[in-house]
Homo-oligomer: A and B are copies of this chain.
Amino acid sequence: MNRYLTIFAFLMIFRVSLCPAQPAAQAVLEDFKPSVLNQPGQEYPQVNSQGYARFRVVAPNAQSVKVSLGGREGTVLTRAADSSWTGTTAAPLDEGFHYYRLTVDGGTFNDPGALNFYGSIRWESGIEIPAHDQDFYALRDVPHGRVQQVLFASPSTGTQRRAFVYTPPDYDKNRKKRYPVLYLQHGWGEDETAWSNQGRANLIMDNLIAEGRIRPFLIVMTYGMTNEIKFGGLRNFDIKPFQTVLVNELIPYVDSHFRTLSDQPHRAMAGLSMGGMETRMITLANLDVFSHIGLFSGGSISMDDVSGTPGFKEKVKLVFVGFGSRELGNSRPGGRGPFGGDPKENAEALKQAGIPSVFYVSPNTAHEFLTWRRCLREFAPLLFQK
């Protein structure tokens, strides 16, 4: 298990390197516009219609400025006539959200032009390459649910902990209606802000609900990096501290403070990357608590897991496994993921055994948030359908 955690951390930190830059055979179109994730009023970074990113950083007396995006070596900026530093990625970036950082004279800083997002256990710069299907996570003129920050007491850790709870738009219309709940976890180095900020989970839900495609439910997002994982130290990983917070502290808090359907058939858990690993461990050990399981770029469930978990077939209503195509891609013979077993074969085996099992591949995305936004879009309509 430690090996997997190390792989997750590696994937989250070096994800861009794993995604080889595409050949830059095309001429770069000069239709650059500010990234939608820029700080208010900031002109840079910019993105063009082909997915190239262009950076501009003001540091008149610097010796070197580099951006961590744009292939294995990143993008080296060059000094312009006005003493700013500018540069364009050597190739288009994948559609969707990317973390990045600057190296200025050997020091690590964020781009003052971009908004920050918590990833790799630091607040990082973010840039968004508009996806051809971006409408599903866009802020549209539809009824909006709320993202509520709650602070709950955690006796097991001696802390007051934070979670965010998405409530659907009709939550306050009918004050007697109760809702199912999805517990949704971030990846290694991220925190409870990730699914709203990078993932746009609330907007994905608002849009799916407006289209009548899902049964409305709550989403609960909390911090899944327990003390045992800490910052960079992946040894001695133990799921129990987080499992205690989630199952024994947060779930009772949510069920007593929100109008939930608080039984196993109406409770799901999913997570991305490390959060998928946590989901797999916690759900398999708590099948009386959770009925629907989602693993987004975070391993899969095999027939060995099923046979090793009493009651699995009766209790589990859905196993959803999703990956980005560039994670499974051609570089790995047989399309095998890095987490043991072929996730597609595992999903097929479950289906053959009569277990509701769905395998999804996000086209042309890697170990990044567009994969996971799409996973949520595909997963949500399958939840709590009876």
A residues near B, CB below 8 A? 39-41, 57-64, 83, 102, 104-110, 112, 115-116, 121-123, 139-141, 144, 146-153, 160, 172, 175, 196, 202, 230-231, 257-258
A160, B146: Cβ atoms closer than 8 Å: no
A144, B150: Cβ atoms closer than 8 Å: yes
Closest CB-CB distance, A210 to chain B, in whole Å? 13
Which one of B39, B122, B150 contacts A122 once the chains associate, using CB atoms below 8 Å? B39
Taking A63-B105, A110-B110 as known contacts, 17 extra A-B pairs with beta carbons closer than 8 A to each other, sorted by chain A number, are A59-B105, A62-B104, A63-B63, A104-B105, A104-B107, A105-B105, A108-B112, A109-B110, A112-B122, A139-B160, A141-B160, A144-B160, A146-B148, A146-B150, A147-B148, A148-B148, A149-B202
A62, B107: Cβ atoms closer than 8 Å: yes
Chain B residues with Cβ below 8 Å from A102 are 109
Chain B residues with Cβ below 8 Å from A160 are 139-141, 144
Chain B residues with Cβ below 8 Å from A231 are 40-41
B58, A108: Cβ atoms closer than 8 Å: yes
Q: How many copies does the complex hold?
A: 2
Q: How far is the CA of A144 from the CA of B253 in the complex (A)?
A: 12
Q: What are 25 A-to-B residue pairs whose CB atoms are below 8 Å?
A: A39-B121, A40-B121, A40-B231, A58-B106, A59-B106, A60-B106, A62-B105, A62-B107, A83-B106, A104-B105, A104-B109, A107-B112, A109-B109, A109-B110, A115-B123, A139-B151, A144-B150, A144-B160, A147-B148, A147-B149, A148-B148, A149-B149, A149-B196, A149-B202, A175-B175
Closest CB-CB distance, A385 to chain B, in whole Å? 27
B107, A57: Cβ atoms closer than 8 Å: yes
Chain B residues with Cβ below 8 Å from A153 are 141
Chain B residues with Cβ below 8 Å from A148 are 146-149
Closest residue of chain B to A160, judged by CB?
B139
Chain B residues with Cβ below 8 Å from A258 are 172
A112-B122, A144-B160, A146-B148 given as contacts; is B105 within 8 A of A61 (CB)?
A: yes
Q: How far is the CA of A331 from the CA of B40 in the complex (A)?
A: 35
Q: How far is the CA of A231 from the CA of B42 in the complex (A)?
A: 10
A61, B64: Cβ atoms closer than 8 Å: yes
Which one of B40, B105, B116, B139 contacts A60 once the chains associate, using CB atoms below 8 Å? B105
Q: How far is the CA of A115 from the CA of B83 in the complex (A)?
A: 28
Closest CB-CB distance, A252 to chain B, in whole Å? 14
Q: How far is the CA of A59 from the CA of B105 in the complex (A)?
A: 6
Closest CB-CB distance, A227 to chain B, in whole Å? 11
Chain B CB count within 10 A is highest, among A40, A60, A63, A230, for: A40
Q: How far is the CA of A354 from the CA of B152 in the complex (A)?
A: 44
Q: How far is the CA of A59 from the CA of B63 in the complex (A)?
A: 11
B172, A106: Cβ atoms closer than 8 Å: no
Chain B residues with Cβ below 8 Å from A109 are 102, 104, 109-110, 112
Q: How far is the CA of A230 from the CA of B40 in the complex (A)?
A: 9
A104, B104: Cβ atoms closer than 8 Å: yes
Q: How far is the CA of A59 from the CA of B108 in the complex (A)?
A: 7
Closest residue of chain B to A114, judged by CB?
B123
Closest CB-CB distance, A270 to chain B, in whole Å? 21
Q: How far is the CA of A112 from the CA of B39 in the complex (A)?
A: 17
Chain B residues with Cβ below 8 Å from A149 are 146-149, 196, 202
Closest CB-CB distance, A169 to chain B, in whole Å? 9
Chain B residues with Cβ below 8 Å from A108 are 58, 112
Closest CB-CB distance, A22 to chain B, in whole Å? 31
A61, B106: Cβ atoms closer than 8 Å: yes
Closest CB-CB distance, A377 to chain B, in whole Å? 19
